[in-house]
Amino acid sequence: MQYPKKIFLLLPDGVGLKNFAFTNFHAIGLERGNDITFWNNTPFDLNELGFKEIRFQNAKVHPLTDILKKAQTQIELNLSIKKSKDNVYDSYRFPFVYRDLKSSLKSVCTKGLVFWYNSEKGLNHIRKNIGKQERKTKLYFDSFETLQKEKPDFVFCTNQRTMLAVAPILAAQDLGIPTATFIFSWDNLPKATKIIETDYYFVWSDHMKNELLYYYPHLNKNQVLVTGTPQFETHTEKEIVLSKEVFFKEYNLDLSKKYICFSGDDVTTSPNDPTYLRDTALAVAQLNQKGYNLGIVFRRCPVDFSNRYNVVLEEFKDIITSVNPKWKKIGEAWHDILPTKEDLILQMNTIAHTEMVVNLGSSMVFDYVSFQKPCAYINYDVPNEQFPDWAVKNIYKFIHFRSMPNSNAVLWVNSPAEIEDCLVKGMGNEANDVIVNAQQWFEKINQHPTELASERIWTAIETITKE
């Protein structure tokens, strides 16, 4: 008799909730006969969803791990510059902090480590040192004890970048339990965000697999499994799309209007978003004077609770309707703002009931093309005394935008004067070629069919646990 495989899904933070708790991933795993437990370090109570969970108690990393991790990131970026002869990697660095004695000492120590270990050999030394320090922590010994007691067949970490995942993964490996992690976002690998070392890596696409092997040449290609990501699976579940009448009534939208979605970014990525929203509203007002009947649905970035849009929202309250993401704020840090299953449904309905999306360089292009709708990328600067060094060109030079097979995969808004024309094109037949190109980009970025990502992940897990 074959017993069910016991799978631990490690949630070191809230990042993995959207992909692995709020999609059908868990249900599919159960249907396939797996015994699933969430190893949960988030504030979210998964018992509410009927899931089995084991919670961490006061999980903390070793005091030196943060310094070592920052040195690792700096060295990886240095090596990427050396390897590629491309200084774009400098734009992924966070500035060193000297606001008090503690932060100053950390910055000085980090710089010292980077100076002494700035090579592949030195990087390997840093990685081993992280493991050495984490094996001293209470988190490691607690994890070891949990794994000894529970005896899972596999530990799957839901993202690759969290320091709190290091000790649990090390404990699993020291007990001979196979481990894997999921590269959770399309832009993560060039940023040097891979902190944990696992036996296997699950990625979105062949493109991402090639990236992973490029940036981490010590990995073997057999360790990297192409599965796609569950985050786009919901887009194929048409039964959760509300009728237009129900959705419009719930969010006080006008049934006689067509709506454009303006999708906001966080303040660091796009400090000029309020101006871009205002410019879009002005363009809509001009089009309405020409006989169109349009409105804007504003979806802010889920981790942006600022009041920076208030003036614009009040000025154009007859045009802009806010449909805010349904995330839970349980603390002040960005990682204390957690997604919800309700927001996945809200996002899908927002896409279904708007004509197109306008934003600055986000992955919403893939969400919208899933519905055969276009995206317009904002591509111009405006004066901003608070952020004098910010420039839109610095966004689009990031490595992940180089994956675009055709620059016409989006409508480019190169000035406020072009917004009207872009909106008209986006709502008409001229958008067809843009949608085709965006679909090609999407298929390069993420394994298709998108709705089979969870199935592919479970197939990979089951194959590994049989070996």
> Angle, nearest 10°, between helix axes 65-84 and 101-116?
40
pLDDT digits (tens, 9 = 90+) for 217-239: 999 999 999 999 999 998 988 88
Q: CB atoms < 10 A from the CB of 358, how many?
A: 26
Please say if the pLDDT value at position 1 is more than 60.
no
pLDDT digits (tens, 9 = 90+) for 324-340: 999 887 765 555 678 88
- Torsion-angle region of residue 291: left (phi > 0), alpha (psi -120 to 50) or beta? left
pLDDT digits (tens, 9 = 90+) for 372-409: 999 999 999 999 888 888 999 999 999 999 999 999 99
Please say if the pLDDT value at position 279 is more than 60.
yes
Q: In degrees rounded to 5, what are phi and psi of residue 154?
A: -160, 140
Q: CB atoms < 10 A from the CB of 145, how many?
A: 11
**Which residues partner with 453 through β-bridges?**
none
Taken in order 412, 417, 420, 421, the sign of the CA dihedral is negative
In sequence order, the 6+-apart residues with CB closer than 8 A to the CB of 174 are 135, 144
Please say if the pLDDT value at position 204 is more than 90.
yes
Q: Provide the whole-model pTM.
A: 0.95
In sequence order, the 6+-apart residues with CB closer than 8 A to the CB of 362 are 263, 265
- Strand order of the sheet with strand 320-322? 320-322, 294-299, 258-263, 357-359, 375-378, 411-413
Give the SS3 label for residue 49. helix
Tell me whether residue 416 is exposed, middle or buried, using C-beta atoms within 10 angstroms of its C-beta: 0 to 12, 13 to 18, 19 or more: middle
Q: Are 67 and 109 in contact (CB under 8 A)?
A: yes
User: Quick one: pLDDT at residue 386?
Assistant: 87
pLDDT digits (tens, 9 = 90+) for 149-178: 999 999 999 999 999 999 999 999 999 999
Q: Are 160 and 193 in contact (CB under 8 A)?
A: yes
Please say if the pLDDT value at position 131 is more than 60.
yes
Domains of the chain and CATH, by start: 6-61+137-229+450-466 (3.40.50.2000), 65-126 (no CATH), 235-445 (3.40.50.2000)
Q: In degrees rounded to 5, what are phi and psi of residue 455?
A: -60, -45
Beta strands (DSSP E) in 288-374 are 294-299, 320-322, 328-329, 337-338, 357-359
pLDDT digits (tens, 9 = 90+) for 39-72: 999 988 999 899 999 999 899 999 999 999 999 9
Type of residue found at 156? F
Write down the mean pLDDT value for the chain. Answer: 95
CA distance 427 to 258: 9
**Which residues partner with 53 through β-bridges?**
38
Q: Are 419 and 283 in contact (CB under 8 A)?
A: yes
CA distance 162 to 7: 20
User: Quick one: pLDDT at residue 106?
Assistant: 92
CA distance 26 to 182: 15
Q: Name the band, by pLDDT with cuts 50, 70 and 90, for residue 74.
A: very high
Query: What is the pLDDT averaged over residues 242-254?
Result: 97
Using CA atoms in the order 116, 120, 121, 126, what is the torsion angle rounded to 10 degrees? 60
Q: Name the band, by pLDDT with cuts 50, 70 and 90, for residue 456.
A: very high
